[in-house]
Structure 1
Amino acid sequence: MHSAALYLIPVTLGDTPVDRVLPVYNNTIISGISHFIVENIRTARRFLKKSNPEINIDSLTFYTLNGHTRPEEVSDYLTPLAAGFSVGIISEAGCPAIADPGADVVAIAQRAGYKVVPLVGPSSILMSLMASGFNGQSFAFHGYLPIDAGERARMLKNLEHRIYAENETQIFIETPYRNSRIIDDFIKTCNPLTKLCIAANITCEDEYIRTLTLKEWNKVKPDLGKKPCIFLLYK
C-alpha cells in the first residue's frame, strides 16, 4: 500500500510500445489510483487501457486540465489527496509538467504540503539533448519561438549569442506543420557554422536524430512532414 501522493505519470511518445519505454513499476502505481488529472480524457483512457488491459476504466474519475481550466478548479482536483487517495497527472506525450500545464497542479500540491512523486518515463527534450552531441551541462529550453518574423529573428540572434558567449545549448519546439519554416529561419538568421540537431519521433520506429551545421542543413533539408520534433542549436 502506497501513501497518498500526486504521481506524475509519463506516457509514450507516439505509438511506441509501453514496455519499451515505461517501467513495470509505473503500472503498479497506476493500478492503485482512481483519480486522474488529464489534458484529454479520451487519450488518457486509451493510454491507461494500453498500459493495463485489466483496468476498469469506468470506475475511474477524470479531471480535465487545459488552457480553459480555471485556477479554482485545479485546487479542487487535489481534494482526493486530503482524503488519503492518490491522484495521477497524465500528459498528452512524455513527462507531465515539462512543457506541459501539469506544472500548475504540482505547484499547488507543493504549497499544500502534499507528497509529489515523479515516475520514470521518456522526455523528448532530454533524450534529444543526450543524442545531439551538444553541451548537456548548460542548456535552456525555450518552447516556441515568437510568431512575428521580426521578433523571431531578434530572439534567435540573442539566443545564438548565448551559445557562443556562455556555451549554452538552446532547445526549441515548433508546431509540427511549421517544421520546415523553423529550419529555414535558423538557416536565414544564424551563423552557417552554428550546429543544428533535429530530433523527430523520438523512441518511435521512424526515429530520426541528426546533427549538422546550418550550412550543411541548407543542402540536405529533411522532409519532416508533421512529425513532432525537437530542435537544438549549439556551436
Structure 2
Amino acid sequence: MEESGRQGRFVIGGAEIAAPPLEPALYLVATPIGNLSDITLRALETLAAADILACEDTRVTRVLLERYGIRRRMTAYHEHNEAQAAPGLIAAIAEGKSVALASDAGTPLVSDPGFRLVRAAQEKGVRVVPVPGPSAVLAALTASGLPTDSFLFAGFLSTKAGQRKSRLEALATVSSLLVFFESPRRLAASLAAMAEMLGDREAVVARELTKAFEEVRRGTLVELAAHYEAAGAPRGEVVVCVAPPLEVPRDADETDRLLLALSTEMAASKAAGEAARMTGTKKSDLYQRLLALKKAGDDG
C-alpha cells in the first residue's frame, strides 16, 4: 500500500490552508459529480489530511486534488480489488491511521464500491465517518419537479431484457417516486421497458448534472423513450426519475370498474394503457383483464 506523500494542506482562492489532523477512522468522502466547485470544505480537509487516500481511479481523483493544490499519493480501491484491499485498509486504521475513501464522483457506496470496506470496518469496531456532499440522486430529484416526499432508489437495471422487466414488474406497485441510474446506450430501451411495465407515467431524464451541458428533460415515459430512440444515445451520466402511480385502486373490483369506464370512451388497448398509467399495473395484464370482462359481459 502506498504511503501518503506531502499532504495536509489545500488551496482556495490562492490561500494555502492547513487541514486539521484526523482521528483514526474510515472517512467516506463525497466528491463533485461534475462541477469541481461543489466540493465541501470538510471534504477538502479530509482529502488533504487523511493518512491514506483510497479512490476508484487515481487519475480521476488527481484532477480534483490538483484543482485545490493537494499534493499526495493515492491508493486504488475499486470493484476488482476491494476484497484484497479492504483488510489492509482496516489494519492501517487499527494501527492508528486515518483512511479516506472517495469514489470517482458523488457519494461513495451509492452504486459504487465500498460496501465490503464499511462492513469490515464495522465488524472490527472501526469508526466509520460519512463526509456528505454531492449526490446525483438528490440533484436529479430536486430538479425533476416530481413529488419527492417519498422515493426509492433502484440503482441500475439489469442489462438483460428479461431480468429488467422482472425488476420493473416488482417495482410497479411501489407508491413512491422511483430513481434509476442508466447508461446512455441503454437509455431508450430502458425507458420503453419502464413504459411497458410501469405504465406511461410522468418522468424526467437528467444527465450531465452540474456540468456545462446539463440537461433535465421532462415528459411521459413513452415520449422520452421515443425521443432518445430517435436522437440516439446521449452523452454523460444519466439519472431517470419516474413519478409514482397517479392512483392505486384499493382492490380488483375497483380496477375492473376503472377499465370498463375507460373502455366506454376509447379502444381496449388504449383503455388498458391509460389504466396502467393511472394505477402502475402492467398494461398487458390490464388488457387481458379487460378482454375477459367484455367477454363475460357479452356472454351474460
* TM surpasses 0.5: yes
Structure of larger gyration radius: 2
Correspondence 1:33 to 2:50: yes
What does 1:1-235 align with in structure 2 at a 5 Å threshold? 1-14=21-34, 16=35, 18-19=36-37, 21-50=38-67, 52-53=68-69, 55-57=70-72, 60-62=73-75, 64-69=76-81, 71-162=83-174, 167-192=175-200, 194-217=201-224, 220-221=227-228, 225-234=234-243, 235=245
Report the Cα offset of residue 231 of structure 1: 0.8
Q: Does the 8 Å CA contact 1:139/1:170 hold for their aligned counterparts?
A: yes
For 1:208 and 1:98, locate their aligned partners in 2 and report how far apart those are by CA, in whole Å.
22
Q: Which has the larger displacement, 96-105 or 76-85?
A: 76-85
Give the RMSD, CA atoms, in angstroms.
2.2
Q: Which has the higher helix share?
A: 2
Number of residue pairs matched?
Answer: 222
Q: Give the unaligned 5+ runs of structure 2.
A: 1-20, 246-300
* Deviations, residues 26-50 of structure 1 (Å, cap 9, x unaligned): 2122221131221112222232222
Larger RCO, structures 1/2 (Cα 8 Å, 6+ apart): 1
* Deviations, residues 6-41 of structure 1 (Å, cap 9, x unaligned): 111122213x1x22x112232122221131221112
Report the Cα offset of residue 147 of structure 1: 2.3
Q: Which has the larger displacement, 114-123 or 88-97?
A: 114-123
For 1:41 and 1:61, locate their aligned partners in 2 and report how far apart those are by CA, in whole Å.
6
Report the Cα offset of residue 227 of structure 1: 1.7
TM-score by length of 1: 0.83
Q: Give the unaligned 5+ runs of structure 1.
A: none
For 2:74 and 2:224, locate their aligned partners in 1 and report how far apart those are by CA, in whole Å.
48
TM-score by length of 2: 0.67
